[in-house]
Amino acid sequence: MSKILSKPASTNADVVTTWRLAWGKIDTITEADWQDEQIAIFLPPSSTQLAFSPSGRFLAIGEVWLSEHKSLTQQRETSGSLPVSDLQLIVTAWEHWGVDTLKRLVGMFGLVVWDRHKQQLYLARDRSGKRTLYYTENGTTNWVAPNLRSLAPYHNQELDLVALRDYLCCAFVPGKRTLWRQVWELQPGNVLQLPESRLGSYWQLQEEIRETEELSHHSHHLRTLLEQVVQEYLPPKEPVGVFLSGGLDSSSITALATKFHSAPVHTYSIHFGSQCPNELEFSSLVAQYCKTQHHVLEIPFRQMWERLPETMAYLDDPIGDPLTVPNLLIGQLARESVQVVLNGEGGDPCFGGPKNQPMLLHQLYGTANQQDPLQAYLLAFKKCASDLPQLLKPEIWAAVKQEEYPFSEDLESTASWLNRLMVLNIKFKGADHILTKVNNLTQAAGLQGRSPLFDQRIVEYSMQIPPEYKLSGAQEKAVLKQAVADLLPGEIIHRPKSGMMVPVQLGFSQYWRRKAKALLLNPKAAIAPYLNQSLIRNWLNYNGDPWQRYGVKLWLLVSLEIWLRCRW
């Protein structure tokens, strides 16, 4: 079933209000929904994001979904047969284990716990970064919220120039920084305790190769884990959706969903019209093989451009990935049939996708005269890292060029080279790009998006698998392929990875160039104080690049400009 969404374009996205919390000096705050001596909490209408422990000592607020409850339900205190929310389970467990409760949680959460006796505040984020949590450090009152939009009234509008540099390199802001000065993102697996400002990790991702077992051993264990996780992620007795590209990762999730789910499984694929290459041959093959209810969405170039402002508002955190608009549109299509949608995100970061091959070759054959590993890693994003001295205005470049990147520590670890890259991809591209995009855009469509391959148990196990079973030469994801070999057609198992390619090059050359010029070259553009518009003009005219690869760079700049104009 092929479809083009007919919903009109929107420049003012109806972004759902979320909770927010003030901590510190709050004596001038009078309209909070709940207030204590040092905190004030504001809740959206009909919110269920607040819970108290049985004794009343602890209060918890946050967005929580737990996939596994055994370690918590044995400690819960309930009366009768009333249902217990995941948030209530956590705050009840907190009375028994305190901050160690975090080590027992399996799921996704951005969570705040307030100890009313000790007047201490705890901010915590799940291990993979499936939920976000932001906070300010500006003056005597700090603010906490699950998105940046909710914090907008409480910080100045100055850009963090280092974060801007990093966005231009990666098309997202990696690490704890955000594009706003003095506004920070809590990192996955971290907990921040106030008023001590004690930031620590309750979990760290690191290589733990404990066995020298054969590939078959690891693939069998991975299969067991995949079956457990996917079954936990399926909504009981309700239809479920899967975003299906036709690649190994999304096809594996589709096959496992249809194997274990008793309700209908809907699959969703996209393409960009007859003039563009697509993977519908493979996604349709998987849908037919797994007997799903398959939906195909065509996304015209006009719609890609018109829906970008709405998408950037929903994203909240700026992400210059051309797949953002398609992700929102396919989510809106899926919402017509399901409330929960799964995806195959996480296969490349955990099991050795081909995008790591250039870095591996650099490590094997690099010479002393070539870039160091950090520079090679930045260039591997294929964005604007090599253009920074010309793209940033001289005074901006001078201010940021010596500032540290968040990748250095993991690049210099003692882990095997491939697993260093895996850790980087999971910690940064996974949490700050992929999962933030999945979470925000599925929520915008009224869905709950779930990413089984980013489940903490699978992520942890991926670090126990020897590198040669993940990516070795041209052979990629060997352990995952063997784990699901009996579930999928051979054409899917053995096809090379191609990735979902959004035709932004064609978009700018034939459809968007005039609009992009008006947006990016305007003297009053939001990017004008920071970026060299004459260089951007050359890109828009395709000057100086025989390979004409400016599309992805222009898309991340257009996305940034639109995001900056949403100064909420």
Domain borders along the chain are 20-146+159-201, 215-351+424-494, 503-568
Between the CA of residue 379 and those of 371, 382, 434, 439, 477, what are the distances in Å? 9, 5, 19, 27, 23
Radius of gyration for the alpha carbons in the chain, expressed in angstroms and rounded: 23
The pLDDT of residue 45: 85
- Rounded Cα–Cα distance for residues 441 and 455 (Å): 19
- Rounded Cα–Cα distance for residues 353 and 477 (Å): 7
Length of the chain: 568
User: What is the third-level CATH fold of 20-146+159-201?
Assistant: Glutamine Phosphoribosylpyrophosphate, subunit 1, domain 1 (3.60.20)
pTM over 0.75: yes
- Rounded Cα–Cα distance for residues 16 and 149 (Å): 10
The pLDDT of residue 15: 63
Cα 301 to its chain centre, rounded Å, is 25
The pLDDT of residue 404: 96
- Rounded Cα–Cα distance for residues 487 and 507 (Å): 37
- Rounded Cα–Cα distance for residues 557 and 436 (Å): 19
Q: What six digits make up the tokens of 403?
A: 């500032």
The pLDDT of residue 445: 96
Q: What six digits make up the tokens of 514?
A: 């005039």
The pLDDT of residue 10: 42
Reduced to 3 states (helix: H, G, I; strand: E, B; else coil), residue 49 is coil
Alpha helices in 392-434 (DSSP H): 394-400, 408-411, 417-424
The pLDDT of residue 8: 37
CB atoms within 10 A of CB 386: 14
- Rounded Cα–Cα distance for residues 123 and 63 (Å): 12
Please identify every stretch of the chain with a pLDDT value under 70, giving residue numbers as ranges.
Answer: 1-16, 71, 73-83, 353-371, 472-474, 497-500, 544-548, 567-568
The pLDDT of residue 274: 86
Reduced to 3 states (helix: H, G, I; strand: E, B; else coil), residue 120 is strand
Amino acid at 507: G
CA-CA-CA-CA torsion sign (423, 427, 430, 433): negative
Bridge-based pairing state of the strands 471-472 and 340-342: unpaired
The pLDDT of residue 483: 97
Report, at the CATH architecture level, how domain 215-351+424-494 is classified. Answer: 3-Layer(aba) Sandwich (3.40)
Q: Which residues, 6 or more positions from 353, have their beta carbon under 8 angstroms from its beta carbon?
A: 347, 471, 476, 477, 497
The pLDDT of residue 555: 97
CA-CA-CA-CA torsion sign (355, 360, 365, 368): positive
- Rounded Cα–Cα distance for residues 466 and 460 (Å): 13
Specify the DSSP class assigned to residue 453.
Answer: G
Same fold, 20-146+159-201 and 215-351+424-494: no
Residue the block writes with tokens 């579930």: 487
